[in-house]
Structure 1
Amino acid sequence: GLIIFRLMITLYHPEGQSCLLNQLQVEICRYPLGMTGGQIQDEDISASSQWSESTAARFGRLDFDNGDGDGAWCPNTMSEPQLSDGLKEYLQVDLRSLHFITLVGTQGRHADGMGKEFAQRYRINYSRDGNSWMGWHDRKGRQVIEGNRNAYDVVLKDLEPPIIARFVRFMPVTDHSMFVCMRVELYGCEWLDGLISYSIPDGQQMVYSGLSVFLNDSVYDGASAERSEMLTKGLGQLTDGTWGLDDFLHSNIYGMWPGYDYVGWSNESFHRGYVETIFQFDHVRNFTTMKVHCSNMFSRGVRMFRKVTCFFQSGSDYEGDPVTFRQADDDVNQAARFVTVPLGDRTASAIKCRFHFNDLWMLISEVAFQSGNYDPTHKVDDSNTRILIGCLVAIIAILLTIIVIILWRQVWQKMLEKASRRMLDDELTARLAVQTQAFSFIHSSLSSEGGSTSNSTYERIFPLCADYQEPSRLIRKLPEFAHTSCKAIAANISEGAPHYAEADIISLQESSDSYSITAVNMNLFSGSDSSMREFPREKLTFKEKLGEGQFGEVHLCEAENMLDFVDEDLSLAGIDESPLLVAVKTLREDANKNARNDFLKEIRIMSRLRDPNIVLLLAVCVDTDPLCMITEYMENGDLNQFLSPPNPQTKSGTEQRQISRYGKLISMAVQITSGMKYLSSLNFVHRDLATRNCLVGKNYTIKIADFGMSRNLYRGDYYRIQGRAVLPIRWMSWESILLGKFTTASDVWAFGVTLWEILTLCKEQPYCHLSDEQVIENTGEFFRDQGKQVYLPKPPRCPDAVYSDLMLSCWRRNAKQRPSFQEIQTQLLESSP
């Protein structure tokens, strides 16, 4: 066999991008793909049927015995003699990605020495997408592969030609009715080129000196249109890893007809003077070069193409500016060769190339592309080494200058923050009189260093003024707000509606030494706006721990006679059992005073929330330590785990499919918008909306909560800054990350990400291909708004209109142009089937 050099080259660029250029080395592409070694999981091995549980598909691993089962896959019926396409029994392997498969191995059933079943012959079907299936045949059209002669020996068979597939089926073939069993292995390597099909005119027949030369693509596995003589949606000799000899009348493959290695066309059949080919790829890629192996035997009227023009398609249409490459004539050397066509680092998911004739005939035996995964946040820099070094030196100098400036500004910022704190403290002390409240907000901390650290993902923060931008922990800015307007709003804080989250943390402190934390606890519920009652601790029975945070824990408990402590306006519809399962959020006894005050403020906030899609605060335990708040428990856990397959909460695959239906997913999203619409009507800002913070009850009821950050399961969703604050940056708007600005519009942004999670069934983390640092860099692209920002891709279940009109509108740069939750709810209801 010959070799196509498919080298893996990693190029480092100043922007930090790694670009992989992949080509395949066929001779050594014979690695076992994981049936024997266990890399292929049991769930990726399936079958049409099984004789018993001990001969299920998962036991069809070549030369492998885990002690269970009878050591092979066996169908539940006898195999009948049948060589048509109607074979019913098969063993299927899902490789999870495209692979170049060059070799297969089979074996019979051992059953601890008692087995005697094996497949004497078999056929192979394969698919690249799981929908369109092709039957393998060798270069002479034979479909049946000779298998085993006993139950023990391993029989290896080369696939000539190789196949490019993700799914492979082994289908036993017998001469008479008999029971068969199989163990199998696949050999090859991963197909990294990304080419999934090419469409070309079918090759033609040349007559040379009375000899018929057939230049058709004889191993093409796509469709053939007889009238147009076009080959579509398949792969064949141009990707089989074998290129033609200098003399196209001879072949690399023994016993094949003249011209077998090449696909060729006559100039007389194409009045436009060119042959048009279309190459389809798995996704958008950044293309560097195309290599085309051509014959140049001009003494027989065959030459390399004169020029090639390539058009690129990333969306629905081909772009108007193609790449054109002209090939110089070679009237001396008649050797076949690879012609390298530069593609100028263009991005596309499909390429249409027109190869122009340079003589009577044009013959091609192989086409290979060099490309890398397309990253729209970076572009390849082709500068030479000197320019690159100069740029790096300049960047280092600029960074050093920026560091000095940042350090200098931080010193001045701390001085200004201390001064502004003293001014605002005096103003708040004078204005915030104790009226209907049993306690006062005396001190407001403007800096994150001076603020308290909350044990909840809802940070109780009041906006100082309408356009206030909190100094970000990532990009610190000097305060630029006017104290007069901020003071006017701060004076009315005690009379206005509280917020889930605002722009800075306000601490509860005693107005004098005579005020104690206990006094605050006792007075917390004396106001007319709260209906919470003290629940006896002895009536709580611990069941299990649901989560744990920095300052407390969340427990699942049983509460006896809870309904006696719940007021009528907080009654739980349809629930009358006792004891009642509840979620209990506790504060550690060793928590500092600021965390304690924040915990009490969270109780005050949640006690005011009354909505069917917001988790209800049922009662509290604040008379002694540890402080506790008791909320309703949602029996199906959080929405992230509820949707993620495999789903431990569901009872059957049928129920899992029911949950995955588009209408059911949209219904869940509508409930979330309903809850967020209620919060926004009160000017509450959640600041951590995600599926992990949406709980699922009976009948797919969704309620918004805030337990996500307290669970170890979701620690990877939060980015820790300078060892202190943690932020859910993959759900946050650009202005929240860069400017520290949290509003209803930033919650709308987070809802767009949450909707994306729902429609992808929470199979992966948002921006999973980006590191945390790259996510933050991407927010800078949103701020610069130069078209380089990366958006989350359209989920498979998402209609185009919902993605373009709704989801992308939630991620608009201008917060004022994002839709309200009322508008989002209306659009979702209109899209629901």
Structure 2
Amino acid sequence: MLLFLLLILQTSAAVGQIDPGHCRFPLGMEDGRVKDKDITASSKWYETTGPQFARLNREEGDGAWCPEGQLQHSDSQYLQVDLSVLTFLTLVGTQGRYARGLGKEFARAYRLNYSRDGLTWKAWKNRQGNTVIEGNKNTYAIVYKELHPSIIARYVRLIPVTELSSTVCMRVELYGCPWHDGLISYSAPEGQLMMPPGYPPASLNDSIYDGTHERSCSGGLGQLTDGVVGMDDFLLTHEKQVWSGYDYLGWRNDSQGTQGHVEMEFVFDRQRNFTSMKVHSNNLFTRGVKIFSSVSCWFKPRLIANWEQETVTFRTVLDDRNPSARYVTVPLNQRTAKALRCRFYFADVWMMFSEISFQSGENPHPDLKTSTHGELKVKSAAPSANDPTEETNTPILIGCLVTIILLLVVIIFLILWCQCVCKVLEKAPRRILDEEVTIRLSSCSDTIIMQTPPVPPRTGHAPAACGGGYAEPDVTQCTPHQSFHSNAPHYAETDIIRLQGVTGSNMYAVPALTVDSLTRKDISAAEFPRQQLIFREKLGEGQFGEVHLCEAEGLPEFLGEGSPLPDRDSRPVLVAVKQLRADATLQARNDFLKEIKIMSRLDDPNIIRLLCVCVSSDPLCMVTEYMENGDLNMFLSQREIESTLTHANSIPSVSLCDLLHMAVQISSGMKYLASLNFVHRDLATRNCLVDRRLTIKIADFGMSRNLYSSDYYRIQGRAVLPIRWMAWESILLGKFTTASDVWAFGVTLWEIFTLCKEQPYSLLSDEQVIENTGEFFRNQGRQIFLYSPPLCPPSLFEVMMRCWSRNITDRPTFDGIYQTLRRHVRE
């Protein structure tokens, strides 16, 4: 048991991969962890406006750092912060000089320069190449700007920018977390252009690399260290408005400089003992991409030394069955070095990486060096038997071991105690618990404006949301690391009915009598020859199954008259195939058959239909419709509202009439589900598919797709929940009804009229969203609602607000919503 726990601790400590979504901690300007001596500037107006006063939310001195004189457009005055260690920066917050109501100066824009060694400075630019960051609009409001891409640096310079001659002042906080990898640069061949037949070109270059580009990339960092892991399909990207293949750096086997292998060099901040290297590699073998077949690494203990002769070689296990991208962990056998050279060998035509990270520790014996055979050679003389250092270290080691053993005993006790408590809670009736929720700033939007109004503290005012179209923000709701003492029910994770099916997609909730006594005889769908299904890409996966996009040859002819499929002139038809894996449990197989029976009952023009099955042999499969234009979220996010400009520039567009027509179709499909007492439980634009005639069909794939993983909140290794679309009673009480689907429909309607350009409650973290549901429960007027989209008519926003009524009985029915929306279309 002790050994098992030690392995767990060692494994967790080895995880060094940065997650930009959670690496958002204040780095110490406001609370003083960054010392005055580490804050410098190119100039200052007075001693009382020196750089040491550039601390966010602080009013010492004259309230901010102000460079000397009137700032001109060509000036490069800067505020410099030394963070002492290499840091992964994700967010910058700025303020002007408020000075207790006397200040008038702020920076409307600024640039960001950074350095890892204090000698070489680099200019930050966003993924579109812009270097100027929008700043403040008044002297007191804090403006938070996401760094897309994030940067790795020790020194940061903020350079205010002005178009006209003016006085500027700044207060600043930086957000991020320590960069434990210690990697300060990598060198690699330039990425290459891929021209896949039938697909758009994929530019597999390192587009954010901050070093030099001369035939190869050298002296910098880029996409391999930005924390963004590429998807299974390398043509899909996490970022919008970028080109296909953006998340990967890739090379072709037979191109110049990469015949048979790709060689990369990695330089670190200091000498380290390397445990392993993790390489996230694409494996879409259906398009000629595989993980590397093997890798050999050389080590250099000092930059001026020669490469050691002995290498570490690792051969991978190639997988021709699962096309998923994956991390490959390469053991480095505790070799000591300050630089590595690794040669990755091709296994197919293409090789693509999206992330590389290293697990290591500092060299505990800097006076030792590793020989070419891996043995340690001592530079200094060996200590004698009476060496006092050895005697001094022995009690320390014994004390450390005793501490570790005691810690493990405590952990074991806590685990056993938690198991006991969980058993008691399972037997106890459902009850409402009070909880203190600690909120940490974790927003997905680019700009967050948090007001600190220059007025006395308010009394009796209800707080609203945080900037960006919401009502006037309340600091108590928005400040990073602010604690909330809640009287709301505890989040009902133990009471929530399992949402996910075996393939990771959501499961409808249906009356129990419809799913009892299931056998294969209950399946009315016809058996389709599985050899006529041609794999195209994986859409998603769950614990026991996967969802694939396939072409079905001869499917319209197989279904015969009455087929819901359009005439394709005997061409293959796109379908979604849910497939059960061979290692599925008996319960999973029963659940899969249950899902088939549920799907077979659905017959509506706005609901995805089950077309056929493959259940005569393993693996079990169900075949459902799929639409040419994909899901509604992706479809709308790539379009603008129809105007003269979109027509003139051939920009993909939709009209307000199109949006209303989509909303009517979704309400019609949900009206049909409600008539059968079916509860969808995951209604959102990601779960609505679109065909070329803008017909909408409600589906259930969204939960299983990595593309939408940020839309779901994971409960400690259990289910993932779409909390931003869920009604308060679903989150707090685990209660799912047609009325909670109505709530989700209101959020879906909001997505449609924002053209899916942002996530619901994008300025709130997941924890803040859950906290907000507590406000709905308390019903004291403090709850935060989604704002009215600019495209949305006021009467339609009233429909949304009714969908979000606190009381279930006050929400409209889907039949009523359908009739209301139809009137809007006729108008």
TM-score by length of 2: 0.45
Q: Considering Cα pairs closer than 8 Å and 6+ residues apart, tell me whether 1 or 2 has the greater RCO.
A: 2
- Higher-Rg structure is 1
